[in-house]
Structure 1
């Protein structure tokens, strides 16, 4: 073999020969999208811990897809056809993780943790260890605000059905309204894995945009008088209450909705490690080391699902719009619940805390604090808003469990 033939073979084995092949432009578009997401994550700091990983996973899978036509699909990092066979009921490889392990690429193997629900559940373990449920326990009525803020989940669900999505897909789109990325990933990986990429990107993008999306709605739906309301300090919660709470919630919620067991169980176990006082080392591990490791795998494997052929569709645009509506209506639901409490309490509850009923902890609570302080500089709503905020974490997991029980 002469030098010219060697160079020709090297070129043919590279991905560059597929740049101008049929469909090659789609991969180029997705590479541009991944670069945009990297810019938003790094420069604009939009949920960078996950968005940077998702963006780079998107970059890797679409770069590796050039090899499929140029040389061999064995060079690809992610193989959608393997997962199609995995999901084909009655097929030879239905739910065969062994087939994925034997024939998949790096990202296929990492994605197993998403498909099995492992990564989202471990994220909830860390969230539980980082969450103080004291503000919720000191004012249990805040559970109602967390429930009211799930309104967008179900309105977006019906909207998705009207736009032609099936029940499983509509449920996965609706959960974006819970403003909880791990929950959205968990539910979508079970019900509509083909939509995981756009749903995950929409969920985390809107979570990052909370400081821009929520304030206009808060000002639109509340009066200046309502925003100025100063709330009284809540009672101190005992250590015993904090220890009993995760045990009781796990028992009641899981018995009511067994499908919530992975999320609620891990959330409450993490919180019990935090509060019981004898497992500080475990609490520290799941808050830091384990949380960081899982975030690495979760981000890159979710990004792997943004294959050009499935991402560059009209459905992606519909998901982006429906996700925004879901998030807005969830904020509206929380605010309306807050206004009801304002009236019932005789003006003692600031309705702004209702917007924190979405699950984005603690960002949504900080937005409530910021808007309230603009109306009244002596107003301190942060701890009051944390009650609905942590209630939203539980509420979004329950909503996901309900949808999973109905459509699985």
Structure 2
């Protein structure tokens, strides 16, 4: 796994746009040397324009500003939005720009799904929150529930080394990219002395050397659990091994609680997750559907000692196709705080799913349907990788172009 555990970190949980945007925009606007930002979604709306102004403030102060957006998640940024940034010296790039056929986007797979910010090598932000107004409660009933963390301490150096490698790597020189990142992780400024603060690791997944790292961290934590596992995940359709680990944990007496979408932004997501309900609940896993608004979080807590916050869902696209980034934290204070926030969500905004008792014929049909869909979806990423092996493109934006 590509984790490098370092102690001595201060990690602050940020909830929704209300908690996240003021902190990250203030940090960016005050930057003096460097801003590294990677995001799946950046829209030209109220939130996007606030980010634009923060980036312009950093560039005006002389900071080197690098912004990488995903071409599928951020396909329609107008020149009126990008031109002021480019004119100020901000380096804007698009990961796999959207390809269109008869006006429809066709290159959905293998997305850059990170949500990362590093400011002056001193402060980093990692999580699942994009730059769009639908992460604010004022957006209404479709506003998303989500989480991120603000990091101070030696772990920032890992995130910075990773983002710098993305900036510097020519495509498709993937092996050089990985060597530069690993070399950056060996620098002395990443060697943290023992002391107070959270023990944490920055863990990523890609389609080359680190295909299963995030999933393996989840599975290791689940297998070691002795008291409770609490997972809140927007798009839940993991592989057989992770499902097996959850069932085994529940059967040995661990309280396993899953918070999943009850009011999804995409209906098919809930339908897919429901295929797993009986399989999990019959082993004792408790499933709760968050019904207040769409759940977009990707967080988990195990035994109030282990926690993760990041961009990775537990579904085939995040675990097998997308580029993802999570922070893993081994700190009782942080894990307990995140667990308390999730418990409040569970108690006030969730509905417990009850195990149905269908007849024998219906039960057999449900099992057969679930097996077919489950294996088809789990094989889908392998099929797509075999059919498309070319390296992804990262394209600099030009003043006269849209991404």
Quick check: TM above 0.5? no
| TM bucket, shorter chain | under 0.3
Q: Of the two structures, which has the highest relative contact order with CA contacts closer than 8 Å and spacing of 6 or more? A: 1
**TM-score by structure 1 length?**
0.25
Larger radius of gyration: 1
- Give the helix-richer structure, 1 or 2: 1
